[in-house]
Copies of this chain bind each other. A is one copy, B any other.
Amino acid sequence: MASVVTLTTDFGTADGYVGAMKGVIAEIAPQARVIDLTHDIPHGDVRGAAFALYRAVPYYPPDSVHCVVIDPGVGTARRALAVRTEGRQYLVGPDGGAFTLFCPPFSDAVPEAVELSEPRWWRAGHDLSATFHGRDIFAPVAAHLARQIETGDADLEVFGPRARRLRRFEVPAPVEERDAYRGEVVHVDHFGNAITNLPERWVAAHPEAPVIAEAGGKAMPVVRTYGDVRSGDLCALVGSAGWLEVACRDGSAADRLGLAPGIPVVLRRTAPRARPLS
């Protein structure tokens, strides 16, 4: 079975850097199915990459390889990694934080990881460039890993020694109070929806009372889907990845409310609903 290699970068495509990575992969692993996950991560936005991966990676067949190059630290001492997640997805890229959401508390297990220190898997016959490890280390390693998966003998440890403590960005835990749950925006997506750190379960745990959300100085209903409010109205709803999102139907909640990572979002229980007489 042909293996899958996805690519996630902040390179854009116009300069040809991504094109070079695809050429390297086509040379090493001509059978692999190469899939563009995205090249439009904002420059250096490790957090944006982490959320893109979190939304996409779990839907791939096990043993897919995801090459992720957001690398402002290229040429410094930052580590180069290959990681196997709890769900048997492989992640290859610099240790800059993009794999945060595949580590506890977002996964149950600590993922296995190795440091890419074995030059025999890098681009062959050339000096290593000091500025483009996407082409010279990460694409070749992803391609070799894909080949090994095709032949059934993938072994992370051939690429280098075990690596501990992946670099992670902080996602603050929400704070539960008596009738409220205080969280914050952790990411704003391309539609202007603001993803928060408030998990689905708190909303689901309080079906007996209407819950409202507050963000950017406005209160809004917590609904099931965009269609539950009118065009242009604000709402909060559990997004496709399981976290509460602040949204505006047919518009951008982030623009409307000035939302950005770190801005508080509060879920508040209102007076209990009167039970209908039966």
Contact = CB atoms under 8 A, between A and B. Distances in A.
Nearest to A2: B30
A35 B22 CA distance: 8
Contacts of A54: 16
A15 B227 contact: no
Given A11-B190, A191-B43, A16 B224 contact: no
Contact of A130 (B13, B16, B38, B237): B237
A59 B20 contact: yes
Interface of A: 1-2, 4, 6, 8, 11-24, 26-27, 30, 33-44, 48, 51-61, 64, 72-77, 129-132, 135, 189-191, 224-228, 237-240, 249-250
A227 B135 CA distance: 18
23 contacts: A1-B30, A2-B30, A11-B190, A12-B190, A15-B190, A16-B51, A16-B52, A16-B53, A18-B38, A19-B53, A19-B55, A19-B57, A20-B56, A22-B37, A23-B56, A23-B57, A27-B59, A34-B35, A59-B135, A74-B226, A75-B227, A130-B238, A131-B239
Given A14-B41, A237-B131, A250-B44, A228 B55 contact: no
Contacts of A48: 14
A23 B60 contact: yes
**Number of this chain's copies in the complex:** 3
A6 B16 CA distance: 11
Given A76-B227, A191-B43, A225-B74, A55 B4 contact: no
Contact of A16 (B14, B35, B37): B37
Nearest to A251: B43
Contact of A52 (B19, B21, B33, B55): B19
B23 A59 contact: yes
Contacts of A6: 19, 22
A27 B6 CA distance: 14
A94 to B, nearest CB: 12
